[in-house]
Structure 1
Amino acid sequence: MSDSTPLLEMRDIRVKLPSGLEIVRGVDLVAEAGKVVGVVGESGSGKSVTVRAALGLMPSSSTLTGSIRFRGEELANAPQRRLRQLRGSKIGLVFQDPMTALNPVITVGNLIAEAVRLHNPGMSWRKARLRAVELLDMVSVPQPEVRIDQYVHEFSGGMRQRAMIAMAVANNPDILVADEPTTALDVTVQAQIMEVIKGLQQKFSMGLILITHDLGVIAGVADTVVVMYSGKVVETGPVRQLFYASRHPYTRGLLSCLPTIVGDGGKLQPIPGSPPLLSARPSGCPFHPRCALAQDLCRTSEPPLREVDRLQTACHFAETLRDGQFHPVPSPKGQP
C-alpha cells in the first residue's frame, strides 16, 4: 500500500433493512493515518450504523452495498472470519456504553488480557496480564496493578470508559473508532477521556473516527468533519472551514446550539422540530420541514453533495447562504 492510500475508504455505502427501508443512503467517508474524522449529527442520523458497517456490525438481516476498503482490501460483505481477525487487531472500537459492552462477571484485567491473547494466541496469561496493567496505566487509571482484579461495577463511569479504551488499543490498531465515547459523563471527565483518546491517537499515529453529537468535542480534535442527517451526508470538509463558513442550514443549526457567552445574551438557539422518522422521510430535502430558509425547490427535489467554498454541501442554495441568510448572487455587470 502506498503512503497516499487511505487507511479506510468507504464509498456509496447503503444499508437497507429487510423491509426495504434504507437507513444509510450513499455515504462516503475516508480515514487516514494520524488524522481525525468527526462524524456528527442528531440521534437517528445514521452515524453509528455507517461506521459499524465497516466492521460488519450492522443490524441483523440488513443488506450492505457499496465499497469498504481497508488498506486496499475490500471488506464489504467480507466473511465474518476475516472481519473478526481485523476487529480488535487492526480496527479498534470504543463503544458508547461500557457498562453494557463489558462483561460484568469477569475482572477488568482478564477482559483486557483476553482481548490481547485473542489476537496473540501464543502469549501466556501472565504476559497478557502484565500487558493489561501497562494498558490501564497508559489510559491513566490509578493503581492499575490493583484495578486489574476489580469488576466493572467497581469502576466509575470515567474509569469504565478508560478500560474500554485500553481494550480497544490493546493490539495497537491502525484505526480507532470511538462511538460517542463521552456520553453520560460530566464535562470534566469528558475532557479527560478526549485527552486520553487524542494522546493515544497521536502516539501511535492511528486514524481516528470520532462519532458524536457534540460539535464542541469535534472542534478541539477533528481534522475533517462529516455532518449526517436522515441517513446521508449533508455537509463535509475541513473543520475550520465548516465551523466558520458552513453552507448548510442544518450545520448552522447545530453550531447555533453550542453555548456561548457572546451575542444574543448567551441564549441557545435550538433547531425547531425533530429529525424525521426514517420510515416517513419527507420528499425533497429531508431537512426542509425544520429549515427556516426552505424554498419550494427544497420541498420537491433532494439536493446532491457538491463543492462550494472548500466544502461538500447538499443544499440547493449553498452558494448564496452566508451569515445564516440567503444573499442573492450579483448579476454580471451590464445584465439585469
Structure 2
Amino acid sequence: MVVDRQPLLEVHDLRVTLRNGLEVIRGVDFVAEAGKVLGIVGESGSGKSIMMRAALGLSPSLSTVTGSIKLRGEELVGANERRMRELRGSRIGLVFQDPMTALNPVITVGKLIAEAVRLHKPHMSAAEARRRSIELLELVAVPQPEVRANQYVHEFSGGMKQRAMIAIAIANNPEVLIADEPTTALDVTVQAQILEVLKNLQSRFSIGLVLITHDLGVVAGAADTVVVMYAGKVMETGAVRDIFYHSRHPYTRGLLSCLPTISGNQSRLEPISGSPPLLSARPAGCPFHPRCSMAQDVCRTEEPILRKVDRAMTACHFAEALRGGAVGKMASQGGRA
C-alpha cells in the first residue's frame, strides 16, 4: 500500500495584494495536517480570514495572490475558477463566521444541505439528498433532524444555525475544513458544544481542521498547532503547549494576559494597550512596536524575521529575553510580556 506523505494543506510565502497596491498578507507560511487542528489566532484586522479565503480562491476582486498554496501537492495559486469551484465544498469546506447571512432564509435547512450535496453529486436523486441532509443534521448533533430539516433558518437558535452551517460544510466529506470564527456571538456553553462538534468530526473523519479565531482560549483545548498573526504577518507559531507555556513574543503574551484563569493568582485581566494598526498605515519596523513594552530603537526601524527560538518560531528581536525572571519583570510592567 502506497502511503501519501504529502502535507494536506501547505502554504508558503503567501502574499495578498489589493488592487490599490496594499499588501495585506505578507509572506505567511503554515502546514495543516490530516487529523490535526491548526489554530490561527489574532485580533480583528490581522488578516486571518482573508488569508484562508485566498486558499479557497475567494480573495477580494482584482487582488493579487502570490506564493504557494498546495492541497495534497496540487498548486492552487493560479488555478482557474472552474477548478476552484470543484474543490470548494468537496475537498475544502468552509464554515462562515455569520451563519445568518450565509444561509438562505427562504429555503428549508434540509434543502440547503441537499443543495450542497447535489452540487457536487448531480446524479444523486432528490430523495437520496434529503436522506443525506437528515444524516448530516444528526451527525452535527441537531435534535429531531427529520423535523428540523423542514424548518427555516429563522426557526433555529444561534448554535443550531452554526450546526447547520457545519453540516453544509462537511456535506461532501472534505479533506480540509476551515472554520472562520465559528463561536462568535455564542455564549460559552454553546461555544463549547460547537467546538466539541468540530473536534468530533475532525477525529472521526481525519479532517484537517483550520480554526480561525481571535480568542486563544478557544484553541487552548482544541488545537495541535497555533499560528499567531498581527498586521498580516505571522508573529509566532508552534505547538499549542509551547505557545501557551513558552511563548517568546510580547504580542502572544499580551493575548494570553487577556485570558481569565482559575488558579486564583490573577487579580485582574491585563489588556494590550492601543489598537491594531490600519493596514494602510502600518508602522515601520516591527508592526507591534507601538503597543509593546519591550520596544527598542531597532524595533522601530527593522522588522524582525520569523526564526526558531527554543521550540517555536518567533518574529521578535528580543525573544531570548522572554525567559525566566525577565518574563515576570516584564509582566509586572503591564502584563504584555
TM-score (ref. length: structure 2): 0.95
Give the match for residue 321 of structure 1: 322
Give the match for residue 156 of structure 2: 155
- Is 1:13 the counterpart of 2:51? The answer is no
Kindly report the root-mean-square deviation, in angstroms, between the aligned alpha carbons of the 2 structures: 1.3
* Residue type at the aligned position of 1:65: T
Give the match for residue 114 of structure 1: 115
SS of match in other structure, 2:295:
coil
Q: Output the CA distance in 2 between the equivalents of 1:323 and 1:194.
A: 34
Q: Output the CA distance in 1 between the equivalents of 2:267 and 2:99.
A: 34
Query: Post-superposition shift, 1:61?
Result: 1.2
Give the match for residue 74 of structure 1: 75
Give the match for residue 285 of structure 2: 284
Give a deviation string over 1:116-146, Cα, whole Å, max 9, x none. Answer: 0111111000000000001001111111101
- Is 1:245 the counterpart of 2:246? The answer is yes
**Hey, which bits of structure 1, 4+ residues long, moved more than 3 A?**
261-266, 323-327
Give the match for residue 123 of structure 1: 124
- Is 1:37 the counterpart of 2:34? The answer is no
* Residue type at the aligned position of 1:28: D
* Residue type at the aligned position of 2:195: M
Give the match for residue 176 of structure 1: 177
Q: Output the CA distance in 1 between the equivalents of 2:36 and 2:174.
A: 14
TM-score (ref. length: structure 1): 0.95
Q: Output the CA distance in 2 between the equivalents of 1:2 and 1:57.
A: 31
Q: Output the CA distance in 2 between the equivalents of 1:263 and 1:299.
A: 37
Give the match for residue 271 of structure 2: 270
SS of match in other structure, 2:221:
helix
* Residue type at the aligned position of 2:192: A
Give the match for residue 295 of structure 1: 296
The question of whether the paired residues in 2 share the 8 Å contact of 1:9 and 1:30 is answered with: yes
Q: Output the CA distance in 2 between the equivalents of 1:2 and 1:232.
A: 33
Q: Output the CA distance in 1 between the equivalents of 2:265 and 2:241.
A: 23
Q: Percent identity?
A: 74
The question of whether the paired residues in 2 share the 8 Å contact of 1:260 and 1:267 is answered with: no
The question of whether the paired residues in 1 share the 8 Å contact of 2:260 and 2:266 is answered with: no
Q: Output the CA distance in 2 between the equivalents of 1:156 and 1:41.
A: 27
Query: Post-superposition shift, 1:262?
Result: 3.6
* Residue type at the aligned position of 2:199: K
Give the match for residue 143 of structure 2: 142
Sort the Cα spacing of 1:249 and 1:265 in 2 relative to 1 into closer, same or farther, 3 A: closer
- Is 1:54 the counterpart of 2:50? The answer is no
Q: Output the CA distance in 2 between the equivalents of 1:116 and 1:233.
A: 35
SS of match in other structure, 1:39:
strand
Give the match for residue 233 of structure 1: 234
SS of match in other structure, 2:105:
coil
* Paired positions, count: 327
Give the match for residue 333 of structure 1: none
* Residue type at the aligned position of 2:46: S
Give the match for residue 212 of structure 1: 213
Structure 1, unaligned runs of 5 or more: 328-336
Give the match for residue 189 of structure 1: 190
* Residue type at the aligned position of 2:211: L
The question of whether the paired residues in 2 share the 8 Å contact of 1:42 and 1:213 is answered with: yes
Give the match for residue 306 of structure 1: 307
The question of whether the paired residues in 1 share the 8 Å contact of 2:49 and 2:212 is answered with: yes
Larger mean Cα displacement after TM superposition, 171-180 or 318-327 = 318-327
* Residue type at the aligned position of 1:36: V
* Residue type at the aligned position of 2:25: V
Query: Post-superposition shift, 1:52?
Result: 1.1
Query: Post-superposition shift, 1:201?
Result: 0.6
Structure 2, unaligned runs of 5 or more: 329-337
Query: Post-superposition shift, 1:59?
Result: 1.0
The question of whether the paired residues in 2 share the 8 Å contact of 1:260 and 1:266 is answered with: no
SS of match in other structure, 1:266:
coil
Give the match for residue 333 of structure 2: none
Give a deviation string over 1:286-334, Cα, whole Å, max 9, x none. Answer: 000000111111111000000000110000011121258379xxxxxxx
The question of whether the paired residues in 2 share the 8 Å contact of 1:293 and 1:325 is answered with: no
Sort the Cα spacing of 1:265 and 1:39 in 2 relative to 1 into closer, same or farther, 3 A: closer
Query: Post-superposition shift, 1:214?
Result: 1.0
